[in-house]
Amino acid sequence: MYRLIYKSKSNQKIEWQTIENILHASEKGNQEHEISGLLLSTNTHFLQIIEGKYEDVNDVFMKIAKDERHSEIQLICFEVIDARLFTSWGMRGIGVFNFNKEIEKMLMDKYGEEEQSVRFPLEAWRVLSMVDDIHMVQKLPSWKS
Ligand SMILES: Cc1cc2nc3c(=O)[nH]c(=O)nc-3n(C[C@H](O)[C@H](O)[C@H](O)COP(=O)(O)O)c2cc1C
């Protein structure tokens, strides 16, 4: 099992509809290939965690990397994992712009600021720490196996 994390910059302002469109179009493929993960977005940036078999993660990332909706793709990690972190959903989308201002400010204080929102980190451990923080404040279903 593998986990890949990347960060990218959107070519257009990201709104909830943008995330919904992407996830809706990805749902079937992700299900078929047993891809799980998380798509986090601010109004300007994406950060995606993709988990699955090597071939599947590799193939979907190659497709995503060519997608013209985003650019400046920065690969954060592509590593072997013992087990998935995101077992209870397929690919979940979360828009930081939907958080209340207090939570967004807390994340900005901790992780830094970029284009008036949270700066998505470029270190895998910091990404997972951010996911843990978001998990706590959002009361998401269990994400650790
Ligand atoms: C930020 C972002 C995240 C995406 N995540 C996925 C994903 O998890 N799974 C997926 O199949 N496609 C994802 N896509 C869409 C792919 O780039 C591509 O449009 C889609 O897989 C359909 O490709 P196809 O028509 O060649 O099969 C994402 C696109 C963007 C911009």
> 């993709």: which residue's tokens?
50
Separation between Cα atoms, residue 68 and residue 135, nearest integer Å: 30
DSSP string, 72-117: EEEEEEEEE-SS-S--SSSEEEEEGGGS-HHHHHHHHHHH-EETTE
Please state which CATH class domain 2-138 belongs to.
alpha beta
- The structural domains of the chain, with segments of one domain joined by +, span 2-138
Pair of tokens at residue 2: 């593998």
- For residue 47 and ligand 1, the question of a CB distance below 6 A is answered with no
Separation between Cα atoms, residue 62 and residue 66, nearest integer Å: 7
pLDDT band for position 132 (cuts 50, 70, 90): very high
pTM flag (> 0.85): yes
Average pLDDT over residues 110-116: 97
Q: Given a cut of 50, is residue 56 above it in pLDDT?
A: yes
Average pLDDT over residues 8-15: 98
Residues 120, 113 contacting (CB under 8 angstroms): no
* φ/ψ (deg, to 5) at 39: -115, 110
- For residue 57 and ligand 1, the question of a CB distance below 6 A is answered with no
CA angle 138, 26, 9 (to 5 degrees): 70
Residues 102, 110 contacting (CB under 8 angstroms): no
| Digit-coded pLDDT (tens) for 20-51 | 999 999 999 999 999 999 999 999 999 999 99
Identity of the residue numbered 25: A
Please report the pLDDT score of residue 145 as a whole number: 42
What spacing in Å lies between the alpha carbon of 102 and ligand 1's midpoint?
32
CA-CA-CA-CA torsion sign (108, 141, 69, 129): positive
Residue nearest atom 14 in ligand 1 by C-alpha distance:
64
Mutate to test the pocket of ligand 1, among 5, 33, 44, 64 (most ligand atoms within 8 A of CB): 64
| Digit-coded pLDDT (tens) for 76-94 | 999 999 999 987 668 999 9
Residue nearest atom 28 in ligand 1 by C-alpha distance:
64
